[in-house]
Amino acid sequence: MFFMDIRKVIITRQGRKFYAKNLDEDLHTQYGFVKKEDLKKAKEGDVLKSNTGNEFFIFDPYFIDLYRKIKRDAQIMPLKDIGLIIAETGINKESRVLDAGSGSGAVACFLASVAKEVITYEIREDFIEIVKANVEFLKLKNIKIKNKNIYKEIDDIDIDAIVLDLPEPWNALESCAKALKPGGFLVSYSPSVPQVADFVNAARKNESFVYLKTAEIVEREWEVEERRVRPKSKGLGHSGFLSFARKVKE
Ligand code: SAH
């Protein structure tokens, strides 16, 4: 196991979040420390005071609190991009979803928290170990991990949505066409423009798919300090482009 259990989430009035793993130790923060006796006794919704008088609010971790602590090795997809995938495909508790490559399993785990079932394909065994640890840490029961090359074949069928996050997504079009249900969504995530062009051109040529759109999500965070309200000065980063297509026939 890579992780200790996260038992409690603690938030300060300033919005800083801490995770209490071991309730047998005092929790030290820059806002002072909370005694282990207080941590142990604390119930959800309790308010504790640190030795310096700061308030600490305590609750049990939600999925998203734990998700933010998963182990990351491969570059994981940011939440803003996962959000668009869920919104555009309408993945929900009835959906069977497939993703490749698993990488650290971030996309697979997030989608498993909203879908009925997620099957995740990964060629590298070392990454599969990380995915397994993350699945266990998040206590997800609806993920199947397969050590397979998605460019070669997908041995699953009746899939509602496939998310590709790998270097040559156009090589997976044939296998995705077989695995998806008619009407099922194919989503490809690529960091660079030539990959988008090659994927979209290949999807357009492939009779199994109807191409829908390519989009980039730009999330700009703002600072709100009294009436000093403005975009954060830190530069906007780039993650990737999302291309969407629908399977229409085999
Ligand atoms: N979406 C993942 C990150 C994926 S990184 C996350 O959010 O955590 C890309 C992964 O694709 C790498 O782990 C790589 O090993 C895997 N990969 C590359 N080619 C593949 C293929 N043909 N079949 C399956 N996995 C592949």
For the stretch 187-227, pLDDT in tens is 999 999 999 999 999 999 999 999 999 999 999 999 999 99
Q: List ligand 1's pocket residues with C-beta within 6 A.
A: 74, 76-77, 100-101, 103-107, 121-124, 127, 149-151, 165-166
Q: Which atom of ligand 1 is nearest to the CA of 163?
A: 1
> What residue's CA is closest to ligand 1, atom 22?
149
Domains of the chain: 8-61 (3.10.330.20), 66-247 (3.40.50.150)
**Pairwise CA distance, residues 143 & 154, whole Å:** 16
> What residue's CA is closest to ligand 1, atom 16?
101
**Pairwise CA distance, residues 208 & 202, whole Å:** 11
- Confidence at residue 61, expressed as pLDDT on a 0 to 100 scale: 92
> What residue's CA is closest to ligand 1, atom 12?
103
**Pairwise CA distance, residues 117 & 80, whole Å:** 22
| Nearest residue to 14 (alpha-carbon basis) of 72, 54, 68 | 54
Q: Which atom of ligand 1 is nearest to the CA of 168?
A: 19
With the most atoms of ligand 1 within 8 angstroms of its CB, the residue from 70, 102, 152 to mutate is: 102
Query: pLDDT per residue over 88-118, tens digit each?
Result: 999 999 999 999 999 999 999 999 999 999 9
Mean pLDDT of the chain: 94
